[in-house]
Amino acid sequence: MAGKFITLEGGEGAGKSTQARLLAVALEQMGVSVIVTREPGGTSAAEAIRALLLDPEGEGWSPEAEVLLFAAARADHVERVIRPALEKGKWVLCDRFVDSTRAYQGGEGGVSDADVLSLHRIGSQGLLPDLTLLIEAGDSDTAERLRARDGDNSDRIGGRAKAFHEAVARRFADIAENEPERFVRIDGSGTPEEVHGRIMAAVHDRLGPVG
């Protein structure tokens, strides 16, 4: 596959979507053909699964059912959008991917990392990004950003307890430390432009000259 696959990971409000957009603009200015997509979602079927998973009024799912739904949404997304784009030489920027399942449903979420990765192998042929940017912003920064944007409205997973989100952050950090060849940890504090500067430095460092 000729294109590059970059994922952005981190907790709610870390700035993933903002940074995906800024990175896409910068890459396009360098002559790279880019698509920006997200998980759960990215295809009509996967967006339907997203609605089932995140509906704050929904009954909720067992950890096992939840992990299967994320894997099913991802399988469709990989088959219909991500692989075809990479095969055409496009760069794919994806807001969350399998590492979110490992961090949220794995560990504290109740499903083993080995099981999450097995489902990923079955559903998505184990596709892994060329580069994963883990954006880490402090609790006070993210709480303020989310309050300003969402008020009291959060989705079913985003609305879980603080301890759950702290465990997710630790789990992301552990995964990144164990897979240093794929991950770069990005300081998510400061202005969006400052974070973008750190991301561009990481992309050049890991993927070489662009364009």
Q: What are the residues binding ligand T5A (CB under 6 A)?
A: 10, 12-18, 38-40, 54, 70, 95-96, 100-101, 104-105, 145, 149, 155, 157-158, 191-192, 195
Residue identified by tokens 């059912």 is: 65
Residue 105 vs 124, nearer CB to ligand T5A: 105
CB-based contacts of 157, cutoff 8 Å, min separation 6: 53, 54, 104
Cβ 105 vs Cβ 96: under 8 Å: no
Pairwise CA distance, residues 7 & 134, whole Å: 8
Residue 138 vs 192, nearer CB to ligand T5A: 192
Residue 49 vs 86, nearer CB to ligand T5A: 49
Q: In the bound complex, what is the minimum distance in angstroms from residue 57's beta carbon to ligand T5A?
A: 16
Residue 145 vs 206, nearer CB to ligand T5A: 145
Pairwise CA distance, residues 33 & 58, whole Å: 38
Task: State the alpha helices, DSSP H only, in 5-59.
Answer: 16-29, 44-54
Q: In the bound complex, what is the minimum distance in angstroms from residue 208's beta carbon to ligand T5A?
A: 26
For residue 104, the Cα-to-chain-centroid distance in whole angstroms is: 11
CB-based contacts of 108, cutoff 8 Å, min separation 6: 164, 167, 168, 171
Q: In the bound complex, what is the minimum distance in angstroms from residue 155's beta carbon to ligand T5A?
A: 6
Residue 156 vs 206, nearer CB to ligand T5A: 156
Pairwise CA distance, residues 8 & 17, whole Å: 8
Q: In the bound complex, what is the minimum distance in angstroms from residue 139's beta carbon to ligand T5A?
A: 13
Q: In the bound complex, what is the minimum distance in angstroms from residue 45's beta carbon to ligand T5A?
A: 15
Q: In the bound complex, what is the minimum distance in angstroms from residue 42's beta carbon to ligand T5A?
A: 10
Pairwise CA distance, residues 62 & 205, whole Å: 41
Residue 51 vs 207, nearer CB to ligand T5A: 51
